[in-house]
Amino acid sequence: MPESLPADPSDLPQDPFDLLRHWLAEAQSQGMRDHGAMTLATAGADGRPSARTVLLRGLDEHGLRFHTNRGSLKGRQLAENGRAQLLFHWRESGRQILVHGDVTQLDDAESDAYFATRPRGARLAAWASDQGAVLAGRQELLDSWAAADARFPGEDVPRPEYWGGYLVTPSAIEFWQAHELRLHDRYVYARDPAAPSGWRIERLAP
């Protein structure tokens, strides 16, 4: 079991991104498959929530990044309501991280740069799949992929204009560490301009 969170909030890193990076690195070092997988929860203008798993594709002082089809349900909901939650869950280590934040689109240059790093097959799949649309059968998807393969025969497969990245800028980050008797550790960092670090740290009941 990984090290526990400290009993006193003053012993935590003052910047939640430091702890977030540390936990991600530990999950990777422990061999957890898809350690960067995170549940993305969104809701549109009607307030109806939906959730799915996406992969973390960037982390810096500005926030967390992921990329997807912007015409999908999540893309449409984010266009209507630019707020979301992200959840990392590592059962093996008894840890969770919950990120609350505002979501904005990444610019074309950053989206292009990431798209170019994807394998050719994945880039073709972005052209082939109208994400969330009803299909008559799997063959329709295969035919669409073949059409994209014929359209872009070389390595130069450009990014579709409807596909791109997002930045989640956290307003709060919660860290949860499992303990026996279900007396878990749970801390939240909330943005607070009055705090020296810009973050207020509080312990929450599990």
Burial grade of 16 (CB within 10 A; 0-12, 13-18, 19 or more): buried
- Residue for token digits 């063959």? 139
Q: Could you say which DSSP state residue 92 is in? A: G
| Catalytic one of 182, 191, 200, 203 | 182
Residues 6 or more apart whose CB falls under 8 angstroms from that of 57 comprise 36, 65, 66, 67, 114, 165
- Spatial distance between the Cα atoms of 152 and 70, rounded to a whole number of angstroms: 21
Cβ proximity of 39 and 86 under 8 Å? yes
CA 108 to chain centre: 19
Is 182 annotated in the active site?
yes
- Spatial distance between the Cα atoms of 194 and 113, rounded to a whole number of angstroms: 37
Helix (H) or strand (E) holding 112: helix 108-115
Active site amino acids: 182
